[in-house]
Chains A and B, each alone.
Chain A
Amino acid sequence: QVTLRESGPALVKPTQTLTLTCTFSGFSLSTSGMCVSWIRQPPGKALEWLALIDWDDDKYYSTSLKTRLTISKDTSKNQVVLTMTNMDPVDTATYYCARKETYYDAFDIWGQGTMVTVSS
């Protein structure tokens, strides 16, 4: 059974750096074609893709946010970490991690999401 679970602070202050961890099971990020992505959703708004890392350690970032984002993986721990610098109240959102693999070529399994509020 494939599962993903997001973890991180529920509250961060403006200008701080957010660090989120996606811990997964049921697959390996060293398997060819496997990817993990981060996607966020502000309250009442649409999904917004943030970043993706693949089995070969290639990384892709949202054009509008790439200067603030870093994605990395620890294959031995089955974890993917996202850092976002210079947090602002507009970054308040539920942050999801999701798996993408070659069969569906889509985000077929999602975590339950973690809500992050940016406020002083």
Chain B
Amino acid sequence: SYELTQPPSVSVSPGQTARITCSGDALPKQYAYWYQQKPGQAPVLVIYKDSERPSGIPERFSGSSSGTTVTLTISGVQAEDEADYYCQSADSSGIVVFGGGTKLTVL
């Protein structure tokens, strides 16, 4: 079955840039999406279609794609950005898949 691979954890200091990667064989052909989840809360969409930002999401959140890897970049990380981040995509038959999640720690 199709899988998306994320690093379990990423740590950055406030004001630095955090980069969270997500790898999957179908990513060159399928869009990726990113969700932020804080403890006890439902996920929130922060990036759609690889690099688009929904309204209301701060400009410091951006997404990019290169080959089989997509990257969520958070520039000028703030304490409030500490959360779990999940990538999501789908295979060609419409089966949805989530990555294993990355815990972002703001030091």
How does the 8 Å CB contact mask read for B3-46 relative to A, with 1 for contact and 0 for none? 00000000000000000000000000001010101000011110
Closest to B86 in A: A47
Contacts of B96 in A (CB 8 A): 37, 49, 52, 60
Cβ-defined contact, B88 with A113, below 8 A? no
Give chain B nearest CB distance to A111 CB in angstroms.
7
Q: 10 more A-B contacts (CB under 8 A) besides A49-B96, A108-B48?
A: A47-B37, A47-B86, A47-B88, A49-B88, A60-B96, A104-B33, A104-B52, A108-B54, A110-B42, A110-B44
Give residues in B with beta carbon < 8 Å to A: 1, 31, 33, 35, 37, 42-45, 48-49, 52, 54, 86, 88, 93-101
Q: How far is the CA of A110 from the CA of B86 in the complex (A)?
A: 14
A-B contact count (CB 8 A): 61
Closest to A45 in B: B101
With the chains together, A110 CA to B101 CA distance in Å? 17
Q: Is A76 an interface residue (CB 8 A)?
A: no
Instruction: Contacts A46-B100, A46-B101 given; indicate if A62 touches B95 (C-beta within 8 A).
Output: yes
Residues A110 and B94 in contact, CB atoms below 8 Å apart = no
> Distance (Å) between the CB of B100 and the closest chain A CB?
5
Given contacts A37-B96, A63-B1, contact A107 B45 (CB under 8 A): yes
- Asked whether, in the complex, the Cβ of A47 is within 8 Å of the Cβ of B54, the reply is no
Assembled-state Cα–Cα distance A110/B88 (Å): 15
- A: residues with CB less than 8 A from B are 37, 39, 46-49, 52, 60, 62-64, 96, 104-108, 110-113
Which of B88, B99, B100 touches A106 (beta carbons < 8 Å)? B88
Contacts of B54 in A (CB 8 A): 104, 108
- CB-nearest residue of chain B to A113: B42
